[in-house]
Every structure is written in structure tokens, then in C-alpha cells.
Structure 1
Amino acid sequence: MSDFLEILTHGRRLKAAVKDLSVDELRDLAAKLEKIIVEREAEAEEELKANAERIAKIEEIRKQMAEVGLSVEDLGNVAAKPAGKKRAPRPAKYKIVVDGQEITWTGQGRMPTVFKNATEKGASMDDFLI
């Protein structure tokens, strides 16, 4: 817990921390805390309401499933999706040799620096086709 929260939640520490504040400043502080409390209560109420609606919908679906004769286990078998097939990597379309090192590129994605430098010097990408 942070030092601020320890002071705020401990009675004597809080009293010592606010001893220099005037009564008006304390009332202003109390009003700000009250506003925060009201907002938190409203958020908690909204969350409970949303959760109640969710639980009601789940119960409605369970009743429909019972009428049809389905169980949760039946859904588990249907919900499992087969793993998607991973496609093979694309073949290289361009090739350049720089300092004895062969660099290839598929032509998709960001252009490698060596190809970019060569094209800026006047070369055409057609010169590097495989």
C-alpha cells in the first residue's frame, strides 16, 4: 500500500496530515471524497445490474438447452475449432548479392535496405528478379 493510502486509512495519521487545513478546506476535501464514493457506488450498482442480466440470459439459454435435450458437454464438442492450416512461406521473388552474401525478398512487406539502396541508385527491381 502506498504511503498516501496508509495515511488516508489510519485515523491518527490522517488527523496529523490535515492539521494545517482550515475548516473550509476540510469541508471541500470531504465533498470531494463524497463525490468519489457516490461514483463508486453507481459503478458497483451498474456492474451488479449487468451481471444480473448476464446470469438471467445464461439461465434462459440453459432452459432452452434442456428443452431440446442438449448439455454443456455437447457444446464443448461443437465449440472446438480445428486448428487452421498454416500456409507455406512464399518463395523468394528477388535476389541480390552484396559483399558475397545473397539476400532474397518475396516482394511483400517492407523492402530490405539493400534493395532500396540499389533502386535509389537507378537499378530496376526487374534487374533482381529470380
Structure 2
Amino acid sequence: MADFLEVLTHGRRLKAQLKNLSVSELREVIVKMQVIADEFEEEEKAEQEANAERLAKIEAIRKQLAEDGIALEELGAVTEKTSRKKRAPRPPKYEIMVDGERITWTGQGRTPKAIKERLDAGASLEDFLIKKS
């Protein structure tokens, strides 16, 4: 894509690429490019009009707020999102003893290395379940 743009924006390179086209083919390319340019201009104009409308609405709202004596800073207090509460940590579901150390795992997230090694060796996950008493 960068090569294409480089050719299009450099006069001599563009001329070299187009030299094999007939005049009618070249005019056809020009017409197609003009159509694309016109479409881009229309899109840009529509975007500018929409942006102008949006800015006008924002200004109208600002004026209304000023008339009602409401500061923009006050709106921030109303629109602040409430922070999500963290859920309680899950209790461990699996355990393994390695060198006198108890390693636990909830069953979510990364499997502890010691449990993974035993699973790879053929053990079942049920072998590590914490028995409820």
C-alpha cells in the first residue's frame, strides 16, 4: 500500500507506471478517481455537517445549564459510575502437599505446577479434591 501511495504522489513514478496505458484507458482511470474523490468530499461534508449539528446541540445545552445555574462540574457527580464490588475470593477446591507445604487451587485460572505435573503423570483431578468433613 505504501508503494502504491508513493507512486501516486510522485509525478515521474506515476508517469512511468501509466505510460503503457492508452489515452482512453488513462481518461477512464481519471474518471474513476474523480468519482472516488467526489464521494470522499461528500462524506467529509456530511461529517462536518453532523459535527456542526452536534456542537450546536452541545452549546445549546451549555446555555440552558448556565441559565438554570448548573455548573458542568456538578454533572460529573451525577454521572459517576458506581464502582463494582469485588466478589469474595473462592474457596480452594483442590490441594496437594509438596515437601510439607500445602498448595491449594480454586479450579480457576492457571493450574499450580505441582498439580499439573501429577496430572501429566496420569493422576486424576479428583485425587486432589478437598474432602468436606
TM tier relative to shorter chain: 0.5 to 0.7
Distance 1:122 1:44 in 2: 63
Q: Distance in 1 between matches of 2:57 and 2:80?
A: 22
- Deviation string 1:18-41 (CA, Å, 9 cap, x unpaired) is 111112221221122112202211
Partner in structure 1 of residue 68 of structure 2: 68
Rounded to whole Å, the distance in 2 between the matches of 1:122 and 1:3 is: 58
| Distance of 1:101 and 1:23 partners within structure 2 | 84
Give distance in 2, aligned partners of 1:17 and 1:121: 68
- Equivalences for 1:47-126 in 2 at 5 Å? 47-80=47-80, 86=86, 89-97=89-97, 102-107=102-107, 109-110=108-109, 112=111, 114=115, 117=119, 121=123, 124=126
User: Could you state the TM-score of these two structures normalised by the residue count of structure 1?
Assistant: 0.68
Distance 2:4 2:71 in 1: 52
Which consecutive residues of structure 2, in runs of 5 or more, have no partner in the other structure?
none
> Does residue 129 of the first structure (1) align with residue 127 of the second (2)?
no
Q: Note the C-alpha offset of 1:57.
A: 1.4
Q: 1:21 to 1:100 in 2, by over 3 A?
A: farther
Structure 1: unaligned runs, 5 residues or longer: none
CA deviation profile, 1:30-68 (whole Å, cap 9, x unmatched): 122112202211220121122012112101211220121
Alpha-carbon distance between aligned partners in 1 of 2:102 and 2:28, rounded to the nearest angstrom: 72
Compute the RMSD of aligned alpha carbons: 3.4
In the aligned structure 1, how far is the partner of 2:20 from the partner of 2:72? 63
Quote the Cα distance in structure 1 between the aligned partners of 2:67 and 2:58: 14
State how far apart, in whole Å, the 2-side matches of 1:28 and 1:98 are.
Answer: 77
TM-score, normalisation: structure 2: 0.67
Q: Show CA shifts across 1:85-114 (max 9, x none).
A: 55564342321246877542113x357383
Q: Which residue of 2 aligns with 1:7?
A: 7
